[in-house]
Homo-oligomer: A and B are copies of this chain.
Amino acid sequence: MYSFENDYSEGACQKVLDYLVAHNRVQTPGYGIDEYSEKAQDLIRDLIGNKDADVHFITGGTPCNALAINLIKPYQAVICAANGHINVHETGAVEATGHKILATEGKDGKILPEEIEKVVLSHNDEHMVSPKMVFISNASEYGTIYSKKELTDISGMCRKYGLYLYLDGARLGNALTAKGNDLTIEDIAKLTDIFYIGGTKNGALLGEAMVIINDDLKPDFRYCIKRQCSMLAKTRIISQQFIALLEDDTYLNNARNANEKAQALKKILADHGIEMFMDSPTNQIFPILEDGLVEKLKQKYRFIEWGRYDDSHTTVRLVCSWMTEDEVIREFAEDIDAYMN
């Protein structure tokens, strides 16, 4: 049984594992004030071209999201696309911090600048929450990516109305290495106020690097992490993993492999006339499969049935990871050939 279920089905990539093992017995202070954390912070500041950014290492993506959003005041709200991770798949972790999420329809999993404006203009007195942050993810929940123009427009709209722009980078590597991408990580650091670089879904055992650009959001963030139960005693193990990922091209290579393998799957399916529910250039694809084919695939592969497409078809999600190998793709191609003839 091979799993295309998600990009966190395996442990860590070899480089990360080796680094952890090599530095395992070194003694350091706890809670992220150690030499590894400093080194990883410096690496990230160099990478994004902003030496004043604050960098913190957090256990996972949901904690990053809840932490970022809880920087706004209690009566302030965050705007996101209706299918945004925070709005659907975090069991109310944002509401748990007391904040309302204002969901807009979005398009292809992405939010539109004009939607942001509409929400802001329709919240105009103290009987309603006050929008103060916009949440986007890149790559999005549907694997789509923001162009430089799109992100610039969203950022401009946020600045027009005094909103913070927060980017969930759980799959940031996949976005940056996607075919057609024209955004750099330096751009992202210029256009957003706070974002995170995802480790969990790109070859780390766990951990994300929260990057705070806007000075308003920097003070006392370590208090926030601790209070929200997301500060690891051995934070260094996250920092060490980010060093391993970022001191060379491992981070980008991991993501690129995931993208390429998923795109290869897409081509195999397209060659058999199968259409995608939504086109994605990253490591998640959403083919619309005839139900009989789904049943056959389930004998050998694990994946998520995303939703009914019509009476006889199902949209499924196939995800590749840093670890997906050519051999798997070849075998999948043979299986599809066999199933469809």
Residues in chain A within 8 A of chain B (CB atoms): 2-3, 5-6, 8-12, 17, 20-21, 23-31, 59-63, 66, 70, 73-75, 77, 88-93, 95-101, 126-130, 200-201, 205-206, 220, 222-234, 236-237, 302, 323
Interface CB pairs A-B, < 8 A, 28: A5-B30, A8-B30, A10-B24, A11-B23, A11-B236, A29-B302, A60-B233, A61-B233, A62-B226, A63-B230, A74-B92, A74-B96, A75-B224, A89-B128, A90-B227, A92-B98, A92-B100, A93-B226, A93-B229, A95-B100, A98-B98, A100-B101, A126-B225, A126-B226, A129-B223, A200-B234, A228-B229, A230-B230
Query: A202 to B295, alpha carbons, bound, how many Å?
Result: 46
Q: A232 touching B59 by the CB < 8 A rule?
A: yes
A99-B92 in contact given A24-B11, A220-B73 (Cβ < 8 Å): yes
Most buried by B among A3, A11, A232: A11
Distance (whole angstroms) from the CB of A317 to the closest CB of chain B: 14
On whether the beta carbons of B126 and A223 are closer than 8 Å, the reply is yes
Is A230 touching B229 in the complex (CB atoms < 8 A)? yes
Say whether, besides A206-B237, A233-B8, A220 and B75 are in contact (CB < 8 Å).
yes
Q: Is the interface of A mostly helix, strand, loop or mixed?
A: loop
Q: Closest CB-CB distance, A66 to chain B, in whole Å?
A: 5
Residues of B within 8 A of A224 (CB): 74-75
**B89 with A127: CB separation less than 8 A:** yes
B206 touches A126 (CB 8 A): no
Are B92 and A77 within 8 A (Cβ)?
Answer: yes
Nearest 5 CB-CB pairings of A with B:
A11-B24, A63-B229, A75-B223, A126-B222, A92-B100
Contacts of A323 in B (CB 8 A): 25
A5 to B127, CA, bound (A): 15
Cross-chain contact B74 with A227 (CB below 8 angstroms): yes
Chain B residues with CB under 8 A of A26? 10-11
Chain B positions within 8 Å of A2 at CB level: 27
Interface pair B127/A226, CB less than 8 Å apart: yes
Interface residue from B24, B27, B92 paired with A227 (Cβ < 8 Å) = B92
- Name the residue on B nearest A25 (C-beta): B10
- CB closest chain-B residue, reference A98: B96
- When C-beta atoms are compared, the residue in chain B nearest to A201 turns out to be B233
In angstroms, Cα B229 to Cα A93, docked, is: 7
Complex Cα distance, B182 from A170, in Å, reads 47
Complex interface: chain B residues within 8 A of A93 (CB): 226-229
Residues of chain B with a CB closer than 8 A to A127's CB: 31, 89-91, 226
Q: How far is the CB of A111 from chain B (nearest CB, A)?
A: 18
Q: How far is the CB of A121 from chain B (nearest CB, A)?
A: 12
Contact (Cβ within 8 A) A206 B234: yes
Is B27's CB under 8 angstroms from A91's CB? no
Q: Closest approach, in angstroms, between the C-beta of A147 and any C-beta of chain B?
A: 28
